[in-house]
Amino acid sequence: MRTTVGIVGAGPAGLLLARLLHRAGVDAAVLESRDRRHVERRQRAGILEQGTVDVLRAAGAGERMDREGLRHDGIELRYAGTRHRVDFPALTGGRSVMAYAQTEVCKDLIALRLADGGPLLFEAEALAVDGADTDRPRVRFRHRGVEDVLECDYVVGCDGSWGVTRRAVPAALSRVFEQTYPFGWLGVLADAPPSHDELVYARHDRGFALLSLRSPSVSRLYLQVPAGTDADSWDDGAIWDELERRVEAAGAPPLTRGPISQKSVTPMRSSVHEPMRYGRLYLAGDAAHIVPPTGAKGLNLAVGDVVTFARALVHRRETGSDALLDGYSATCLRRVWQAQRFSADLTALLHRAPDAPPFEDRLQHARLERLTSCRAAATDLAEGYTGLPF
């Protein structure tokens, strides 16, 4: 096979990049190790920043999102039995976020890719990237038991932190910055209408809790739990009871309970791989960076990466200059580190570390009081949450 851009991974980053390149007249091929059903069912992010919403609309991928997604103009913070709303449009000049699950984004982009007719190979396992530092990189892959080679001008790795593309960057050139947290998130999908029309972030002495949603009839809910917790050790009744305790606040309506259809524990960690480019190999999304889910940045950072690459490649075609491609890593990393800062700050603000001393508890309350009483502090949160411009 021969193409201009070989894309490894058919998550939202790889699929969106394929769509952006198609609309720009650049041919690309997408390789995905899992089957289509898996890609369209794996639960991940559900909050889209304003910039991501704008990009999907501009790419012709926003019709169902606009019809079925739920716009959120703020979040509610709860602590010490009190409730405080952060109004995004009022603090950011009109920016908001959209609740629309990653599974739905992938369904939309897969349908468009198939309609466009561009190569999209499921069950195509990338085995290695060869010649990344040449002008003819190659991706060796196995498709349904048969090995083949994809010859490209560029390779974009959207295959996650354990994929083959990151391993193609020489170890001597790689630097990985990491932080792990002593807790994780027990996340559940419940067949129950959301208990609040916006996301609720709760700081409690027993640990963090989050009320989110996937649709008007499906709630997405999270509890802070110790690292290594087995999701099956929590029965449904215990999950609902603990959520009730942690989100309790004066004037708050009771939770709407319902059957829990899925539950899992997400580890909490931060990671950045530098550089994000090696020769003609470009890393995007989880292949380059992981953020804790507190700030809802993972999918949105991936969108920023592929938008940056697509713009740089179009710039080269129009001007003959490699300047933007050469600057890809530095450009993306500026945004990545700001998202890491935001996610780490929000995580530290709302989670209670095991054996945290009373002094740390008091500091958290002081920070929350500052955030909910100072417009400048609330503006910083709102700007970070709705996302930096691409």
Structure tokens at 87: 């109004």
What tokens does 95 get? 């920016």
Residue with tokens 């713009």: 311
The phi, psi pair for 367, rounded to 5°, reads -65, -40
328 carries an active-site annotation: no
Q: Is the peptide bond before 275 cis (omega within 30 degrees of 0)?
A: yes
Residue-by-residue DSSP string for 24-66? TT--EEEE-SS-HHHHHH-----EE-HHHHHHHHHTT--HHHH
Helices (H), 29-162: 36-41, 50-58, 63-68, 88-92, 102-116
- The Cα–Cα gap between 70 and 213 comes to 9
Can 293 be counted among the known catalytic residues? Answer: yes
- CA separation (Å) from 272 to 52, 161, 163, 164? 21, 10, 15, 16
Helix %, strand %, coil % for the chain, to 5?
A: 40, 30, 30
Reply yes or no on whether 194 is catalytic.
Answer: no
Which residue, 300, 347, 338, is CA-closest to 184? Answer: 347
DSSP at 163: S
- Residue among 100, 181, 222, 385 flagged as catalytic: 385
Please tell me which residue in 154, 201, 222, 282 is annotated as part of the active site: 201
79 carries an active-site annotation: no
Selecting among 79, 278, 293, 351, the annotated active-site residue is 293
388 φ, ψ (degrees, to nearest 5) = -75, 150
Residue identified by tokens 């996937």 is 214
- CB-based contact 5:156 (threshold 8 Å): yes
Catalytic residue among 12, 22, 72, 289: 72
Cα-based torsion angle of the residue sequence 333, 346, 200, 304 in order, rounded to the nearest 10 degrees: 0
Cβ(270)–Cβ(331) below 8 Å: no
Q: How many CB atoms lie within 10 A of CB 44?
A: 16
**Known catalytic residue at 72:** yes
Burial zone of 99 (CB within 10 Å; 0-12 exposed, 13-18 middle, 19+ buried): buried
Residues that are catalytic: 72, 201, 293, 297, 385
